[in-house]
Chain A
């Protein structure tokens, strides 16, 4: 039997009004949590909001999320064949789903 990981993911546009969604994703040893999230977007739900740029190199520092309550980079946290809870960073303003406002204030566009 192929193993799978269960990702319990926080979804929503409003920090006080969200929901938890559960997705089973195929598990292969050595994969990252980001691999699992990208699999969900391509195979289950393209509306899941995540942010990343370098994919695998841990260079862009964009993919920070809370995994079981701890802040991690989704690209270097290992996917595991168990239930893993993913939430947006609790100390940053929520944009959508797992995406928070991580840009420094001097880099944000305002007119």
Chain B
């Protein structure tokens, strides 16, 4: 079904409408630019922001004295030596302003005696995390920003746009080509400046904590357009994702707030605490960092001391019922509806893909290496190094989004003539509007195969043999995918949508696996069973570029040795 392309022009195109994208749109509009805010789902409801359960780290000093430099020190320490320092500094230094702006817009940060409450979280030197009760941080942040977007003049919203490729003209980015899900038509969006705010890549993993639209699209778009990515091996696993019993209507990372407020005990199948075996005695408090927590749980399972579903137990049985009720009121009722009574039973938890430290190379103005292309939020690589400090993700989304909006607006205002041509527009339209017979393959099954491969072989515990097996499997899937999408090309053609998702996901999976294979050490979220120790030679970040179909890695110690010899 061939269709004429739809077309639109704007000053600033923002791809993705989580916190980073919405803040970028608000800021660019405030600078006087026309903005087109595109998302493949509904505006401000998909992505990762809406799923945030509790903590947002920021040196407000509202209850305990604090300064952004202390937050910065904790961020660098958590990053295990790999944080991009200007980006980390920006996050910590401008965090308080953005959190106060959100407060002014009525987000409703939890307060006690008029002061914003700040909770203690693992890896922080003092209570620093603001939140909205009960487990409502993400929905409240999304709703507040949606309202602010609606109040800003100059923002045109466009949901159901699946961005397929960035448009290039003489090396600059001039917008994007998209598949309009609601009609099946190709769309050409010309923009003076384009901001990628598509979030991370958790959908590559079978067990993940974010929305189904977090398939690393922004990384693939940037790579194919000629930009570099950095730190792609560092996928953060959240140690205590919900595993069993089956729980519906709740986010799997919901146990984090419970641990912040009530401590809780992590137990193996002998009902013994075990984290002390891996160097961190918890003593009923929540102190273990995400990288060590995931490692300890997986090692305990490997030693045959796991829970029936392949995780460990998390118990709040020692907490009095009134303490549970006071801390989590309505959530206790939702748990009861799922047959869970925390005073009588532990639940089972296991590591779950949660966040990506890697991403698009950008400077502290959110400018990528390509003219006209900017990045924001989780899509940006480097601020969190090899392991993200809890609470930094929403802060990063707000701060980087605001900065990207301003920088992109400045850039757009300097361009005299709006772009109306792209070197790759015809190729992109032809791909989106492919008139191909339905091929006999199951794209949904391929997605599951990829997710299982990544979970089992490029997950929280890695080895050379596992990663090579994953690359084989990814290679077979790439061959199976072929060069043209299947389906009838009409509206909501699921096979065609899966095909475009797989095209991005398989490229990004290859990049993660190649980067993980090259890094022959254990550091932060990269846990190599065959190289179990941190190597001082590897105190460096790897960057990735695409040359034709080849993935080119640079920045590792061998590359350094080669260039200096």
Contact = CB atoms under 8 A, between A and B. Distances in A.
A22 interface: no
Contacts of B443: 46
Contacts of A42: 442, 444-445, 447-448
Contacts of B447: 42
Interface in B429-447: 438, 442-445, 447
A54 B50 contact: yes
B157 interface: yes
B41 interface: yes
A4 B494 CA distance: 25
A60 B249 contact: no
Interface string B150-180: 0000000111110000000000000000001
Contacts of B494: 41, 46-50
B137 to A, nearest CB: 12
Interface stretch (B89-97, B240-248, B374-382, B414-422): B240-248
B281 interface: no
Contact of B249 (A29, A75, A95): A75
Contacts of A32: 248
A57 B250 contact: yes
A56 interface: yes
A13 to B, nearest CB: 6
A65 to B, nearest CB: 14
B251 interface: yes
Contacts of A110: 6
Contact of A47 (B187, B445, B495): B495
Given A42-B442, A42-B445, A60-B42, A99 B159 contact: no
Contacts of B475: none
A10 interface: no
B159 A103 contact: yes
A43 B212 CA distance: 18
Contacts of B250: 56-58
B492 interface: yes
A28 interface: yes
Interface in B311-340: 338-339
A49 B492 contact: yes
Nearest to B252: A56
Interface size class of B (residues with CB under 8 A): 35 or more
A41 B444 contact: yes
Contacts of B187: 109, 111
A68 to B, nearest CB: 18
B248 A13 contact: no
B45 interface: yes
B248 A95 contact: no
Contact of A53 (B41, B158, B249, B252): B41
B159 A60 contact: no
A59 B8 CA distance: 30
A6 interface: no
B498 interface: yes
Interface string B243-271: 00111111110000000000000000000
Given A13-B491, A42-B448, A54 B211 contact: yes
A78 interface: yes
A58 B42 contact: no
Contacts of B372: none
B159 A61 contact: no
A51 B492 contact: yes
Nearest to A93: B182
A103 B160 contact: yes
B160 A108 contact: yes
B444 A78 contact: no
A108 B159 contact: yes
B147 to A, nearest CB: 13
Contacts of A48: 494
B514 to A, nearest CB: 27
Contacts of A59: 45, 50-51, 138-139, 211, 251
23 contacts: A29-B246, A38-B444, A43-B445, A46-B494, A53-B47, A54-B212, A54-B251, A55-B211, A56-B251, A56-B252, A57-B51, A58-B249, A59-B211, A59-B251, A60-B211, A76-B249, A78-B248, A96-B492, A103-B160, A108-B182, A109-B182, A110-B6, A111-B187
Interface of B: 6-8, 38, 41-43, 45-47, 50-51, 138-139, 157-161, 180, 182, 187, 211-213, 245-252, 338-339, 438, 442-445, 447-448, 487, 490-495, 498
Counting from the closest, the 6 A-B pairs by CB-CB distance are: A30-B246, A111-B6, A109-B158, A41-B444, A57-B251, A53-B46
